A and B are shown apart, each in its own frame.
Chain A
Amino acid sequence: MIHVENLTKYYDDLLAVDHINFDVRKGEIFGFLGPNGAGKTTTVRMLSCLTKITEGEAYINGYSVKKDKKMVKKSIGVVQDTANLYGDLTVKQNLKFIAELYGVDKKRVNEIIKEFELPADRKFEKLSFGFKKRATLAAAVLHNPPVLFLDEPTVGLDVRSSYAIQKLILRLNKEGHTIFLTTHNMQIAEKLSHRIAIINKGKIVAIGNKYQLKTLLKKKIKIEVEISNIQKQITSELQTFSPRIEGNKVIFFAEDVHEFLEQFYQITKKYNIKTKSINTVLPSIEDVFLEVTK
């Protein structure tokens, strides 16, 4: 549904997206995960004809983004990273205007207002943040596009609104929309996406479903220990196990549990550290993310 070849973007001298390649299959939710400034928004903007492609090619629904802009635009719905409906117009006026731009029957406006449970007669700027996101999502699907681009659709939302948006995304996917979803939230990427690409500094550093991504970890065993007091020595002397402090726990990664336990025991003895608990847990996408975006 989306085919991207060597897609590259320079803003003057700044290389924002660096020769990326990927395919998004029909019916899929494709998570595009990356830290701030990685190039997620720039990628979405290139694919939705909002900024010029410096180099490379992209095809959406079979149409070239460079040459066949109008057909591409008909095939996509875009939720940008800002709530960009018209503030002074009501939700209904906004949706009507968008229906006019896309040549969609006005009846569909009322349908979608119901479907998304939107307050039709409130001005857009008066809506809560969560409803603004809902309304922009409704505006993006008004013309029933096969492909949806959602740029950080849940960022800044409280748990309940975020959950509601996630449910909507899953429903839209079930109804047949292929979804390209950018986020820097691993849980959401992991929960919603069929496949995930991780982008860092403009480059795709990992791609695949969550099981495939986890096989990318060199040290596949994740160990969580709780100790009496966290001291520098424990992280510095056990550097080979990629230690990371999270709250009152220290996380290690090992290829071999036995090897880890031996060294860990020596260090705790040497510095007189007491171990309260020790567990092995399954690595998460977050662990993969932290490793590949180092």
Chain B
Amino acid sequence: MKKAYYIAKKDFFEYFIKPPTLSWGITFPIAFALSFLIRGKDLFFLAPGLITLASFFGTTSMASAAIVFERRMKEFERMIVAPLDYWEIVLGKMIGSFLFGMLTSIVTILFIIPLLGMYSLNLGTLGIALVLSSLVFAAFGVYISMMINDPRNVMVILNSVRFPMMFLSGVFIPLNTYPFMLQIIAYALPLTYEIELLRWVLTNNSFLNPFITIFGSIIWILLFFVLSIWALKRRY
């Protein structure tokens, strides 16, 4: 457990201010959110999705920097050669990405909330939603980064996963207006649950029941955590 913390701490110092993490993790989501908010009419509808996307892009970028780039330079193998358990490595990498996700979502929220005048938020539920969603994305990012075989393709692969998810998870169009098949797909994507959870926190008007989204989030976290350990075991 302690060793997971050391890994996260090291990643925090090493990657938080690196250009790829910064541009994909903070600048891009904020610019993206702002461009929508300035044009968009439906601010209240868009806000939860945009904030969640910021965290989604932030955590997955961080995970890919901290895992895929390290795998390419074989720095990652330092942790394999050391007497650690695989779950400690996965957890360490997850915590680092999680912190970055928290940071990006908080920064985005600080931008968006004044625009919407949402001052009477319940900080407790907001906190729970942000923590859960950042954990889901961190676990998801770690898993994808463990699975990528050729590190040179990381951005291509990551974006070929991220962009379709973005359009299928009800960020821009309400879920209940999706055709039935797309709705099924949407409910199979972790991003949907996190957007819906935040939608419930911010507007109290979500398509999915908060118990389902909270329970679903926990399942996603455990699933990707276990899958990541499995991916690591398979490789080494």
Contacts and interface: CB of A to CB of B under 8 A. Distances in A.
14 contacts: A50-B80, A73-B81, A78-B81, A80-B74, A82-B73, A84-B75, A84-B77, A85-B78, A86-B10, A93-B10, A100-B3, A100-B6, A101-B84, A102-B82
B81 A87 contact: no
Interface in A95-122: 97-98, 100-102
Contact of A82 (B7, B74, B82): B74
Interface residues of B, number: 20
A85 B75 contact: yes
Interface of B: 3, 6-7, 10, 13-14, 18, 73-75, 77-85, 236
A98 B78 contact: yes
A237 interface: no
Nearest to B2: A100
A52 interface: yes
Contact of A50 (B7, B18, B236): B236
B10 A74 contact: no
Contacts of A76: 81
Given A73-B81, A89-B13, A97-B6, A51 B236 contact: yes
Contacts of B7: 101
B10 A97 contact: yes
Contacts of A87: 73
Interface residues of A, number: 26
A49 B236 contact: yes
A52 B83 contact: no
Contacts of A102: 82-83
A88 interface: yes
A112 to B, nearest CB: 16
A101 B6 contact: yes
A48 interface: yes
A49 B85 CA distance: 13
A148 B226 CA distance: 33
Contacts of B79: 101
Given A51-B236, A100-B3, A70 B83 contact: yes
A71 B82 CA distance: 10
B95 to A, nearest CB: 14
A139 B74 CA distance: 14
A49 B84 contact: no
Contacts of A50: 77, 80-81, 236
Interface centre among B3, B73, B75, B84 (most CB of A within 10 A): B75
Contacts of B3: 100-101
| The 3 nearest A-B residue pairs measured at CB | A100-B6, A84-B74, A73-B83
B57 to A, nearest CB: 22
Contacts of A49: 80-81, 236
Interface string A135-162: 0000100000000000000000000000
Given A84-B77, A88-B14, A100-B6, 12 more contacts: A49-B81, A70-B85, A73-B82, A80-B74, A84-B73, A85-B78, A86-B14, A89-B13, A93-B13, A101-B82, A101-B84, A102-B82
Contacts of A71: 83
Contacts of A100: 3, 6
Contacts of A86: 10, 14, 75
A84 B78 contact: yes
A130 to B, nearest CB: 19
A52 B236 contact: yes
A74 B236 contact: no
A143 B81 CA distance: 12
A133 to B, nearest CB: 14
B10 A89 contact: yes
Contacts of B85: 70
A101 B7 CA distance: 8
Contact of B77 (A52, A80, A93): A80
A82 B74 CA distance: 8
A148 to B, nearest CB: 12
